[in-house]
Chain A
Amino acid sequence: MPMSEQTSLTRPPESEARAFLTAVLAIVWKDLHIEQHTRQTISVMVMFSVVTVVMFNFALEANLDAARNVATGLLWATILLAGTLGLNRSLAIERENQTVDALLMAPIHRNAIYIGKVISITLFTLALEAILVLLFIVFFDKPLWRPVVLLVLVLGTIGYVAAGVIVTSMTIQTRSREVLLPVLLLPLSLPLVLPAATAVAAYMFPQLPDWGEVQSAVYIVIIYDLLMLTAGFLTYHFVVES
């Protein structure tokens, strides 16, 4: 990405939105590029998820009926737990390589870093979910391919990552680091997961439910997304300044 464009001091004011967008895209592109080379984040998330699913099956004593009944809850629980790994990994890389300082020194808006990180980690999590959905269809024979289900998964992931980037940016700067993240993030994301899981569960029967039955749950998920993104937008620069 041509960063020199943004350093120019004579930038006309109308191009500020564009500069913001360019910065966001540059960060997303950078993260995807790193992932393409290292393949660390997504592979760790996928491995962890598969182990979790197998472990839960073991806990349910290979009782397929019981496993099918809890499949949607299990799907969300797996996404949340694997999500903490992805968040930690993606934000810790910046700390380890001290690239976070370079990012902060760059003449870009702090919120561009926030949005860029939310987008790239959301993409990682969605890649994980694509694999998980396939696995769950095979293992539990659930119609997870339905469009509304996929929509709720995408919306839920955005809200979860929006909260996750803020919280992880704080926890990686503390003493307990990885230990602290789930304790802070999981309760914070439950008001989102509760309606999202309800909405997904409504679609797990052969006949489609009325939109009226699930719309309120979907709206709650959207409200959470907006609230979290707003909170993140307003507070992110307080979290990263040192």
Chain B
Amino acid sequence: MLPSARLDKSVRIFNWAAAISIFIALLVIFFYAPVEKTMGNVQRIFYFHVGSAWVGAVAFFVALAAGVLYLRQNSRKWDTLALASVEIGLVFLTMATVAGSVWGKPAWNTWWLWSPRLTLITVAWLTYAAYFMLRGAIEDEERRGRFAAVYVIVAFVTIIMAYLSIRILRDIHPVVVGGTMETAQGASEGLQEFSGLDSAKMGITLMASTTAFSVLYVAWLLNRIRLQQLSDAVKDLKIQVTAHLQGEHA
């Protein structure tokens, strides 16, 4: 079955919306946001880093929800949604890690540290990368969907653990979302250079970049779902053609 006209239209709309919102976010980050006191212009990476990390977490949550729905309803669309969301979440997680690493060089004087948070993010990355290995090893479509759905549910435990561990264990990395206490604690111990957002303009910039990345996520998601539907349609066509040809020869 080819993608519906409605999906085609949403893909076009969201492609443009994503391009425009990313452009606006760039303008806001570079021209509206103030220069941070201790870190200077380097701190602008923060908006990319937090924006993409946030969207990555959302993408894995969407995959979890799609996995649960697949097991309940056994409908192929949820499998496609989970697959698309894990793929895109992995891209966002990679973006967040690269941006964080680039920021880590001036802030910590090293590209990488094996602190609990960074280790657990690497672990989450590996866990979700293994999702594709599992899919690749199963031929039967129904079973692949079922196992992938179970795996995506189990894999979300690593995201929960990463979220919990960094709030319980001591870390050099600051906690931005829902963690003012820990941030202050880390800063007082002299572990952290950057102690959070100290102006309303920074908050607005963060919101702008997070929104832009979210729109980009939806755009990629729709594109990926459309791609999967096209690929399924090609597969169906191939089967039909083969059956037809065999019928002629017989």
Contact = CB atoms under 8 A, between A and B. Distances in A.
Co-assembled chains A and B: yes
Interface of A: 163, 166-167, 170-171, 173-176, 180, 183-184, 187-188, 190-192, 194-195, 198, 216-217, 219-220, 223-224, 227-228, 231-232, 234-235, 238-239
B146 interface: yes
Given A175-B139, A194-B119, A194-B120, A220 B161 contact: yes
A191 B126 CA distance: 12
A231 B154 contact: yes
A114 to B, nearest CB: 12
Given A184-B134, A190-B120, A216-B168, 11 more contacts: A174-B134, A174-B138, A174-B147, A175-B139, A184-B130, A187-B126, A188-B154, A191-B123, A191-B158, A216-B169, A224-B161
A238 B69 CA distance: 13
- Most chain-A CB neighbours within 10 Å: which of B116, B119, B161? B161
Interface of B: 71, 116, 119-120, 123, 126-127, 130, 133-134, 137-139, 143, 146-147, 149-151, 153-155, 157-158, 160-162, 164-165, 168-169
Contact of B143 (A163, A173, A184, A191): A173
A228 B154 contact: yes
Nearest to B155: A188
Contacts of A190: 119-120, 123, 158
- Most chain-A CB neighbours within 10 Å: which of B137, B155, B160? B137
Contacts of A232: 154
Contacts of A167: 151, 154
B91 to A, nearest CB: 18
25 contacts: A163-B157, A170-B151, A171-B137, A174-B137, A175-B139, A180-B134, A184-B151, A187-B130, A188-B127, A188-B130, A188-B155, A190-B119, A194-B120, A194-B165, A195-B165, A216-B168, A217-B169, A224-B157, A227-B160, A228-B157, A234-B153, A238-B71, A238-B146, A238-B149, A239-B150
